[in-house]
Chain A
């Protein structure tokens, strides 16, 4: 490292005068030189960048969250908006495309994050330089001006540029897209809907907290709509210890045996990624989430078990959701026990809402506050009136939290004061509650003549098709005389006369 710094100093003498931001990296992606112009662009002392390693997806969830909340100042000096960005975040933004380390010059964007949601870009030329004293050097020279959008990524049908340039840009673009997506997910990751003081929810919160801090496999059990998927997302994206990997949900009910090749490919991807992204020993661990795992048929379950025990899938974190408690699913033969054991290191039971109605007021308040946050600056609600909560408690909530969220959000939009009143509740919801008290049989009505005419027309048409146009046969099928069939066909516009071919 000492020899590298000497070289960086020599380089600095040559390059310090330019207005264009410049930095140099060694083969490991460590910054060995940062020009004053780069420091000015990033609003940081250039010396603070030197020695830092540029690694794709190097942000941990904790760093992302602190960045979004603006709580921490990891650099120890003030940056824009009252708090500097974590150094790891800046370094991640300066990471060159991996192709450059294969010795190929590359033009790509680097990013500077202005606010949690606003980015500016500068086009950079990354040039690999073989040197005598330093085994390998990448020199990055940035443009002098920012642009608000990343380099355009061209659609394949309009491709006319050099393929290498285009592929590299797309890779960088996708990388930025994934980073932004995961940052958004991490910012959203929370366990608000686990609110409540019922014993079941207290236990669920404890288990959630444990799962979020560990890397163990997790099973989330509960009825549909209770927030199983969001719980899994919160555990994965809210994990503080490790860099954010992918959370790959697999809908077992829909995919069936298709989950096996996807799981294998995910395991392969994780292995490949690990080789690329852990030069500092950091592991970007991905998670496979098997939704409704008990819906897999037994042969697929056995193949999955083999894959976990012997294949690369075993390196991934595994999560699953299920409607039934594990014991019941095993007893009923829906789930083979060894697979259940694999997934059940930590079990989070989310009981149905009707079994914890004491939590309803807290949940309603949570939805109101969450909706308040989503419409800042508009009329805010303080809470719900007792009568409103009473009306909400009359419902059985078969759609669980998802249904509650829908009803309260719609009521929120109707509210015209600081308190949510019963009259703000959606009409269809009130109708359902009232219908429970006074069941009303809804009658369907028809126009008899028109309806019978339509059925007659349909049957004649079908008979003609079934008889392949043979009218005598069609008449026999319908149990009518040939002349009557002609009349019927004519009435319904299916055949005008005996000579004409039937239209049906």
Chain B
């Protein structure tokens, strides 16, 4: 966690215009980048939020850097076999995360099994992605982030916030 914070701070000092770039993440786990694109579009107004498109291996690494990030999963049938074990292992290692999922309407019979396996909420269509985004925001709000660094505290006090 501290490592992540240090990296961000370094980046802020070196990167010039990226000075105030300490942002929180929503992690997207899918086979394609479609879901990540939809989540990015839905969270476009949140400049403090990073949407990270991952696959199972990189998802784990990403959570290592930001363990409280919510994970939104695009559940396809081929993923179902491995998903319960994956959820158990990752949930055990990163207890501060939460899992949210999208399944296709044809897979609605999987919904309660996914809940049982550890997914906090499941929607049956990309059209209901807004529900998951709202829950992801709520999860991030209730999860204390890292203590703000000096630059972030100063940034918060600067005028014209909406033009940042």
Contacts and interface: CB of A to CB of B under 8 A. Distances in A.
Interface string A158-188: 0000000000001101100110010000000
A465 B163 contact: yes
Contact of B104 (A156, A177, A256, A459): A156
B78 interface: yes
A255 B149 contact: no
A269 to B, nearest CB: 6
A174 B106 contact: no
Given A253-B142, A454-B19, A171 B113 contact: no
Nearest to A236: B116
B27 to A, nearest CB: 16
Nearest to B118: A249
B158 A451 contact: no
A156 B164 CA distance: 44
A266 interface: yes
Contacts of B81: 177
A155 B20 contact: no
B3 interface: no
B23 to A, nearest CB: 16
Interface string B18-43: 01100000000000000000000000
Interface string B93-133: 00100100000101101101101111011000000000100
Contact of B160 (A269, A463, A492): A463
Given A177-B84, A258-B121, A466-B163, A444 B77 contact: no
B53 to A, nearest CB: 19
A450 B16 CA distance: 9
A458 B19 contact: yes
A454 B158 contact: no
B77 A462 contact: no
A459 B158 contact: yes
Nearest to A188: B88
Given A174-B80, A251-B120, A458-B19, A269 B104 contact: no
Interface string A412-452: 00000000000000000000000000000000101100110
Nearest to B13: A450
Contact of A462 (B107, B138, B158): B158
A178 B163 contact: no
A248 interface: yes
For chain A, the bracket of interface size reads 35 or more
A155 B78 contact: yes
B80 A462 contact: no
A444 B158 contact: no
Contacts of B109: 171, 174
A161 B56 CA distance: 28
Interface in A123-177: 153-157, 170-171, 173-174, 177
Contacts of A411: none
Interface in A264-296: 265-266, 269
B57 interface: no
A225 to B, nearest CB: 8
A467 to B, nearest CB: 9
A215 to B, nearest CB: 18
A170 B78 CA distance: 11
A305 to B, nearest CB: 22
Candidate in A154, A157, A265 with the most chain B CB atoms within 10 angstroms: A157
Candidate in A153, A171, A254 with the most chain B CB atoms within 10 angstroms: A254
A164 to B, nearest CB: 13
Interface string A461-494: 1110110000000000100000000000000100
Contacts, number: 106
A176 to B, nearest CB: 10
Contacts of A173: 80
Given A174-B80, A454-B16, A446 B142 contact: no
Nearest to B14: A450
Nearest to A154: B77
Contacts of B20: 458
B158 A458 contact: yes
Contacts of A170: 77
A455 interface: yes
A84 B116 CA distance: 30
A458 B19 CA distance: 8
A360 B55 CA distance: 40
A16 interface: no
Contacts of B104: 156
B112 A246 contact: yes
A462 B19 contact: no
Contacts of A402: 95
B135 to A, nearest CB: 6
A247 interface: yes
A451 B151 contact: yes
A241 interface: no
A357 B155 CA distance: 44
Contact of B98 (A248, A251, A459): A251
A457 interface: yes
Nearest to A494: B17
B120 A462 contact: no
A255 B113 contact: no
Given A174-B109, A249-B115, A462-B158, A181 B84 contact: yes
A417 to B, nearest CB: 27
B24 to A, nearest CB: 16
Candidate in A258, A458, A465 with the most chain B CB atoms within 10 angstroms: A458
B120 A255 contact: yes
A451 B151 CA distance: 8
Interface of B: 12-13, 16-17, 19-20, 76-78, 80-81, 84, 95, 98, 104, 106-107, 109-110, 112-113, 115-118, 120-121, 131, 135, 138-139, 142, 149-151, 154-155, 158-160, 163-164
6 contacts: A155-B78, A156-B77, A174-B80, A254-B138, A446-B13, A455-B158
Given A248-B112, A251-B120, 4 more contacts: A170-B77, A181-B116, A246-B115, A455-B158
Nearest 5 A-B pairs (CB), nearest first? Answer: A465-B163, A462-B160, A454-B19, A462-B163, A466-B163
